[in-house]
Amino acid sequence: MGIQRAQRASLALTLNYVAFALAVSAVTTSYWCEGTRKVVKPFCMGPVKVKQTYCIHFNSSNINDTRLVQYIYETGEEKFLMRKFHTGIWFSCEQTVDLIGFNCKSFLEIAPDHERGVLWLCIVAECLYIALLFTGGALMVIEMCPCFNLINRLKLNAFAALCTALSGLFGMVAHMMFTTAFQLAVQMGPEDWRPKTWDYSWSYLLAWGSFGTCMGSAVTALNHYTKTIIEFKFKRRTIEKNQRIKQKILELDVPEDLWYITSLQEQADQHDALYVNGSEPSLFNPTILDNWDREYC
């Protein structure tokens, strides 16, 4: 059982580390959403030796010349350009005019004024998510330290499970708030920013993957806590029962020959109780409580 408890604790800690790494990677990148914007091609300025597809060629220096429209129509040159963009919690980046590199600006500048509060709540919730997730992982590491007794370890395990579960709730709220803020920016944001096509990208998947892993860590930690409590209470009840029976035998002055029969009956009761609970049968003695701290590790 001690090995099983150690495995559950290690699994909860591993899931916590994975969730933390995924959360940090998602928050620090700007690929939550990506797509394309349809923009009008600018006129090519200056002498051009190689044909450029991102601008409209015209030899006249007067860009207000009415012949420009006729030239575009007669040559059939596409007047619009599809620029790629990607957006995260902090920044929104769009391809430059020459389609080489990206220009980035704060996503707060793009979000509608009356909806920036939603984005700020998203940022605060993401920060709380990462902070609580880190706290839960730190408590799990401290819990595995052999310098603490059983009661203190159980308390640390309970607080670790609580922090991890709360962090998962904050993460879920933060991800949903970003989804709302981005959709509002698409519908009511600046005209020169609204995308033609868009979809969620890999940072968004990392964020939700982190949430799922975080909740898995919380459930594993809570399962570790509850199973330890149940095993401890069961052993304690069994030991107390044995002590009461032996005390009654001593009070009744039962011959020693009958002690063996009583012991066999106790073992049968223990076997039935453990089998119903889905555990392997085992024998207990009063020294279990003394060795419990070592077995917990």
Tens digits of residue pLDDT in 196-234 = 889 999 999 999 999 999 999 999 888 877 777 777 676
Count Cα atoms within 13 angstroms, Cβ side, for 117: 1
For residue 61, is pLDDT > 60?
no
For residue 3, is pLDDT > 70?
no
Model pTM greater than 0.85? no
Task: Give which of 180, 185, 39 is closest to 110, Cα–Cα.
Answer: 185
pLDDT for the residue 48: 54
pLDDT for the residue 16: 94
Residue 49 CA to residue 131 CA, distance in Å, equals: 55
Residue where the block lists tokens 């995260």: 88
Q: What percent of the chain has pLDDT over 90?
A: 26
3-state class of 63 per DSSP? coil
* 11 alpha carbon, distance to own chain's centre: 15
Which residues face 33 on adjacent strands? 87, 200
3-state class of 44 per DSSP? coil
Tokens linked to 48: 């051009």
Residues 6+ apart with CB under 8 A from 111: 118, 119, 181, 184, 185, 189
Ramachandran category for residue 76: left, alpha or beta (phi over 0 → left; psi -120 to 50 → alpha)? left
Burial 13-50 (b: 16+ CB within 10 A, else e): bbbbbbbbebbeebbebbbbbbbbbebebeeeeeeeee
For 1-30+116-297, CATH number out of 3.10.450, 3.40.30, 1.20.140, 1.10.10 equals 1.20.140
In the chain, which residue ranges form alpha helices assigned H by DSSP?
A: 2-27, 67-75, 107-110, 116-143, 150-188, 202-252, 256-276, 288-296
For residue 273, is pLDDT > 50?
no
Lowest mean pLDDT among 98-112, 226-240, 279-293: 279-293
Residue 283 CA to residue 267 CA, distance in Å, equals: 7
- Rg from Cα positions in the chain: 33
The 10s digit of each residue's pLDDT in 43-58 is 666 555 555 566 666 5
